[in-house]
């Protein structure tokens, strides 16, 4: 489980902007330190640089976890996962949010603002933040993911 107060980097494209604004308010009210990495309006914008920025904030230790938002969350997850050390998980339901943290030690949450409503999004973020990594046999698997990442970086 993350500390009561976590440092959270958050970013969204235009489709995720309104949900991002809502989640920032929620997270700040809960006592989290939130870094808003954009976008700052509903004007059309490309998501890859924003989501990679969230991933870099996590990788560099400037945030404990990240949240990326878009229409479906698919592209946002892909962009964040291009950053070495990021384990971004697309979680549009509570079960995948719990499993992403418990089994995969995911450090970036991706959601689709056109898939989940505000209430469910709040629950997913809460679940993601509250679920600890189980460790055990899952540590070996997460280590294998890091090994694959390293092998691919060497090629």
What distance in Å separates the CA atoms of residue 31 and residue 130, rounded to the nearest whole number? Answer: 14
What is the DSSP pairing of strand 33-36 with strand 65-70? unpaired
Set 14, 22, 102, 103: catalytic member: 103
Strand partners, 99: none
139 counts as catalytic = no
Query: CB-based contacts of 42: which residues, under 8 Å, 6+ apart?
Result: 14, 17, 18
Say which DSSP state 36 is in.
Answer: E
Question: Could you tell me the CA-to-CA distances from 1 to 5, 14, 111, 135 in Å, in that order?
Answer: 11, 31, 20, 12
Q: Is 14 a catalytic residue?
A: no
Residue numbers annotated as active site: 76, 103
């Amino acid at each position: 489980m993350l500390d009561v107060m976590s440092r959270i980097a958050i970013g969204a494209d235009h489709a995720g902007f309104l949900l991002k604004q809502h989640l920032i308010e929620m997270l700040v009210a809960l006592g989290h330190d939130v870094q808003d990495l954009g976008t700052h309006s509903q004007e059309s914008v490309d998501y890859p640089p924003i989501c990679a920025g969230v991933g870099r904030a996590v990788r560099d230790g400037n945030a404990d976890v990240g949240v990326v938002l878009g229409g479906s969350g698919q592209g946002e997850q892909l962009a964040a996962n291009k950053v070495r050390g990021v384990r971004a998980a697309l979680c549009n339901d509570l079960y995948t949010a719990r499993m992403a943290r418990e089994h995969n030690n995911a450090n970036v949450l991706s959601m689709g603002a056109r898939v989940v409503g505000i209430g469910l999004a709040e629950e997913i973020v809460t679940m993601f933040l509250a679920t600890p990594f189980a460790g055990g046999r899952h540590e070996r698997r997460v280590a294998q993911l890091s090994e694959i990442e390293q092998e691919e970086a060497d090629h």
